[in-house]
Chains A and B, each alone.
Chain A
Amino acid sequence: MVIKTPPFIYMVLSSVLFLCSCDKPKLLMAEKDQAESEIKRLLDEAKTLDGKFFSLGIDAATASMKLQMQNRDLAHKNTLLEQELATLSKKCTEGEEMVKSLLPRLESYKAKLAR
């Protein structure tokens, strides 16, 4: 078989050139680089957060739970203190009233005694 038609050759050559000039891998690599830089940014952000946890002197994994427990204890303590204060306040008022009612009687007794 004898190939005499040069256009066929041109077609083959242009296909080869087309393949060579195609930049899909470059686009993919650019996208990958973009993803990598995004990862780097996110890791930096995570590092900043770790620094914040560290500055508080707490372990990031258990910090929330520890603080929650601490808050619960504090709230419980405050509730007890509030109850104690309410009781104490009531007792003080009662006591003051009692003293107030007893003192005139005492003074009256002492006055009579002095006579």
Chain B
Amino acid sequence: MFEESKVWLFTFIFAALIGIGYGSFYLTTVDEANLALQESKSKLASTHEALAYKKKMWADVEAHVVKNRELSEQNGILLKAKDVLDTRYRKVASDFNYSVESMKSAVDKTRGGAPGTELGDIMLTNGKMLRGAKIRKIDPSGLSLIHADGIGLVSIDLLPAEIKERYDLGPSALLPEMELARATFLEKAVVEVVDDSRSSEISAVKKRISTLEIQMESSTKHKEKLEKEVKDLEDQIKAAEAKRAPTQSLRTMKDVVDGNAGMARNELKVQKLEIEKMKAELELLQRKK
């Protein structure tokens, strides 16, 4: 058998081999664990980074959504305010139109009844006296008068203030002033917004429709007023006929007012057609959008 010393040597070698084996196994396991840990740590870092980015994006989105909500609310308020202002604008435009048409009608009536009106003796602004003056006709440049010395056209600036005021003539005439004020108002009220998008086209058509609606509202009022006047005049003619009183001037006035009413009806028809056209155009634009 082996000697004791040899046994010990063998045991030592055996133990050393086992030790080396275990040592090697241990180191490999540690290396593998380390590698796996490094991988996990790297993955964790990238996940952290990705999540932080996503969180930032979400924070941005949340901020934008809040802003969007605020802007939408503001837009709603502004649109409501615009509705109120549009109504106010339509009322002012309607008042304007009614005033102008009413003045026009009054002036037409005065001027229409002017031929044949006796003015008596009138003193012109140049000091000349016209005796027994009678209006022949009213011209834009002046009054054609029949007087004791013959027939003549008297320019507006020579007429006495009272006559100019009655027939609304001269630079201080009210009707042209009112028409100018109305034109200025209607022209300026339609706001020009420079924008080349389709929304601006839609907005322009909407504005045109709105303007046409105002005009229609006013034209309808004017037409109704004239038709009422025609009816009143017809009643007056009937009453005069019953009393066997002269009806010539009433008939003339009725014809003039009836003509004006016809024109108002035609104007209304044209506006109605135009508004229908605009509405079709608006629908087309909205569908394209």
Q: How many residues of A contact B (CB 8 A)?
A: 68
Closest residue on chain B to residue A27 by CB atoms:
B33
B54: chain A residues within 8 A (beta carbon)? 46, 49-50, 60
Which residues of A62-79 have CB atoms within 8 Å of chain B's CB atoms?
Answer: 63-64, 67-68, 70-71, 74-75, 77-78
Secondary structure dominating the interface of A: helix
Residues 125-139 of chain B: 1 if any A CB is under 8 Å from the residue's CB, otherwise 0? 000000000000000
Secondary structure dominating the interface of B: helix
Which residues of B9-31 have CB atoms within 8 Å of chain A's CB atoms?
Answer: 9, 11-12, 15-16, 18-19, 22-23, 26, 29-30
B89: chain A residues within 8 A (beta carbon)? 88, 91-92, 95
- Is A110 a contact of B106 with CB atoms below 8 Å? yes
The answer for the CA separation of A15 and B18 in the assembled complex, in Å, is: 11
Which residues of B26-76 have CB atoms within 8 Å of chain A's CB atoms?
Answer: 26, 29-30, 32-34, 36-37, 40-41, 43-44, 47-48, 50-51, 54-55, 57-58, 60-61, 64-65, 67-68, 71-72, 74-75
23 A-B interface contacts by CB (under 8 A) = A19-B26, A28-B30, A28-B34, A29-B36, A29-B37, A35-B41, A35-B44, A42-B48, A52-B58, A56-B65, A60-B57, A67-B68, A68-B64, A74-B72, A78-B78, A85-B78, A85-B81, A89-B85, A92-B88, A92-B189, A102-B178, A103-B99, A106-B178
